[in-house]
Amino acid sequence: MNKKIQGNETVPRLYVFKSNKHIYAQLINDTDKKILASSSSISRKIKTSSKSTTCDTARMIGDDIAIQSNKKGIDKIVFDRGKKQYHGQIKALADSARAAGLIF
């Protein structure tokens, strides 16, 4: 049995989804069921000319989501990687979010 990860208004959940082509990150308040901030490889700020994402793209997304959360006054989060392995792009995104000031 897996433990379900929950976020609330003081400590939201950072959910990371990775497909074959793109990577997405969302800050979610599960008690109110609202998305507080989001960033992805298809957003205008981060969109690259390559068709696949790399660790550099994941680092840019981690920095962007950390900046958005700091603007909202959020510094502590719960990290949710889904069923993906903590490796490669997921790890690069988490490391850059930590370096930009998020605590998890």
Contacts of 70 (CB under 8 A, 6+ apart): 100, 101
- Mean of pLDDT values over 90-101: 97
Smallest CA-to-CA distance from 51 within 64, 41, 38 is with: 41
Give domain status of residue 85, yes or no.
yes
In this prediction the pTM is 0.89
The domain of 56 spans: 13-99
2 pLDDT more than 60: no
Give domain status of residue 67, yes or no.
yes
What is the dihedral sign for C-alpha 23, 29, 33, 38? negative
Give domain status of residue 36, yes or no.
yes
Let me know if 44 is exposed, middle or buried by CB neighbors in 10 A (0-12, 13-18, 19+).
exposed
1 pLDDT more than 80: no
Give domain status of residue 63, yes or no.
yes
Q: Helix 55-71 to helix 89-99 angle, to the nearest 10 degrees?
A: 40
R_g (Cα) of the chain, nearest Å? 13
**For 26-70, what is each residue's pLDDT tens digit?**
999 999 999 999 999 999 888 765 666 789 999 999 999 999 999
Give domain status of residue 60, yes or no.
yes
Give domain status of residue 4, yes or no.
no
Count the domains in the chain: 1
CATH number of residue 33's parent domain: 3.30.420.100
